[in-house]
Structure 1
Amino acid sequence: GSAATPAVINSIAGGNDFVAAYPSNGINSQVKSVFYVLEDSPIKSIADIAGKTISVNTLGAHLDYTVREALRGAGLPPDAAKLVVVPGPQLEQTLRSRQVDVAGLGYWQATFAGQLVANGGVRGVFNDTDVLGEIAGGFIVLRRDFIAANPDAARNFVEQ
């Protein structure tokens, strides 16, 4: 199986006997989520997002966590900004119409981010690697009983 890191941790905590075999995705200097504002926005830094509305794809997921960690790192409470869920296809529209102050575009939303940047008039304020560093975003998992019953297959799968 494969799931985001929090889902893997929650699944194991919930009693599933999984082994996180290897990372399936993550963020680094080439792969990152960016938080964009309009070019004329007064928001210049993480400290400036206090009191602002920020779009994220899912409450409680990666972008939400990134914003809350960014706020904490700036000495602000985790609820200093208002997070709203916006589907990928509406990210550009909600930012350009000023329904949100900041649009969070996840690394998995490269199509939407590329179009937003290509249309111009926006700039990134911060990204998830600025806040979190390089991390694994998800893992391939194997059930422990499968590994015990099929050690050669499990080893081959992980090595390949």
Structure 2
Amino acid sequence: MPATPTRTTTSRRQFLALLGISAAAVSCGTATASGGGGGGAQLKKLKYQGAVGSVTLPELAADLGYLGDVTLDWVGNTISGPQDIQSAATGQTHFGGAFNGAVVKLAAGKAPIKAVVSYYGSDQYSYGGYYVLEDSPIRSARDLIGKKVGMNTLGAHYQALLDIYLSRNGLSKTDAAKVEALVVPPVNTEQSLRQKQIDVAVLSGVLRDKALATGGIRPLFTDFQLLGAFSAGTYVMTQRFIKENPDTVRTFVTGVAKAIEWSRTTPREEVIARMTAIVKKRGRNEDTSTLQYWHSYGVAETGGRIGDKEFQLWLDWLGERGDIKKGQLKAADLYTNEFNDYRKGA
């Protein structure tokens, strides 16, 4: 059994510091992740971070044979989207994925990155829910004033959805500021809710399904109910890497796009069986039981195509919060569908 590489960890302070580094500094970092600049051969082995006990879309694409002569080089696991795209921006990996709001923040910090394909989102099968105890008096957005909402991280997907929910239900900024968002590790969120350490728990995936099976909780709202089906996160690469390795980027992006469509059109049991085989085959001593709860990747558009709407919502939210300057970035400048054979008109 191969030795498990040490997980790369990055504190929130380090990530925020990254947002302030110069484009020149990032450019120097990405030199280590570049391929054959100056007319040389393009890079065919892509360094990346995975996730324990799960199968990412690039990993699925590779197993299905959709990446051609492009191979993946696993360097460890991550549980943080911001950390994952930081690694890509600084050249530690060749691609990374995160919530689109985190991509916006990194781009606002002058990191020369570009989103190339969507990889997760919310739909009727895969969504994040904001749950309360069955007997909780919380029934509306206004009931959340003075209450605690536990989520995996602040300033990202679930805090954004909470803010949007409060705003759309008529709460003023002053009242919304009285709703306290707290960081609670996902594995502890259900327990924290049941022990009444928090009033609302954000749950998704297997943790949501297990909590619902136990009973005694009900949803206040879900991100799917709030926004409908939407793609929430994208894989990014540096602009330099894209320029120097266009064929590799096309193979990677289109391979991921094909894997998305394969997962949509293949019976769920077959997808789960394939994922289980992939996890067992890579020999990292991982638990495969949670794969039984997989329903979909939640990507909204065909082949993970990206549109302005995938970024404009978060540009507006971050601008309102003062995290970025309003009008500083344009949605269309943050992504490209050029390398996706599922792009419109292709």
Q: What TM bracket, shorter-length normalisation? A: 0.7 to 0.9
1:15-26 equivalence runs, <5 A = 15-26=110-121
Select the structure that is richer in strand. Answer: 1
Runs of 4+ in 1 over 6 A off after TM superposition: none
After superposition, give the CA deviation of every residue in 1:27-68 in whole Å (9 maximum; x if it has no partner): 122211011111111222333222222111112121111111
Distance in 2 between residues matched to 1:28 and 1:89, nearest whole Å: 23
Q: Matched residues in 1 for 2:149 and 2:248: separation?
A: 45
Q: Distance in 1 between matches of 2:183 and 2:242?
A: 39
**Higher RCO, 1 or 2 (CA under 8 Å, sep at least 6)?**
1
Letter in 1 for 2:138: I
The farther-off stretch of 41-50 and 28-37 is 41-50
Q: Is the Cα contact below 8 Å between 1:45 and 1:126 reproduced in 2? A: no
Aligned to 1:156: 251
Q: Which runs of 5+ in 1 are unaligned?
A: none
Question: Of the candidates 197, 204, 210, which is equivalent to residue 99 of structure 1?
Answer: 197
Provide the rounded CA distance (Å) in 1 between the counterparts of 2:224 and 2:141. Answer: 13
Instruction: Give 3-state SS (helix, strand or coil) of 1:37's partner.
Output: strand
Aligned length: 157
1:43 paired with 2:134, answer no
Residue 139 (structure 1) shift: 0.9
The answer (yes or no) to whether the contact 1:46–1:126 under 8 Å persists in 2 is no
Aligned AA for 1:141? V
* TM-score where L is the length of structure 1: 0.88
- Distance in 1 (CA, whole Å) between partners of 2:107 and 2:243 is 17
- Counterpart Cα distance in 2 of 1:46 and 1:130: 14
Q: Taking structure 2 as the reference length, what is the TM-score of the superposition?
A: 0.43
Aligned to 1:33: 128
Given residue 187 of structure 2, which amino acid in structure 1 is its aligned partner?
A: P
Match of 2:164 among 69, 74, 81: 69
Q: Paired residue for 2:185?
A: 87
CA RMSD for the aligned pairs?
1.7
Superimposed CA distance per residue, residues 60-119 of structure 1 (whole angstroms, 9 cap, x where no aligned partner) = 1211111111111111133131222211222122111212111111x3xx2221221111
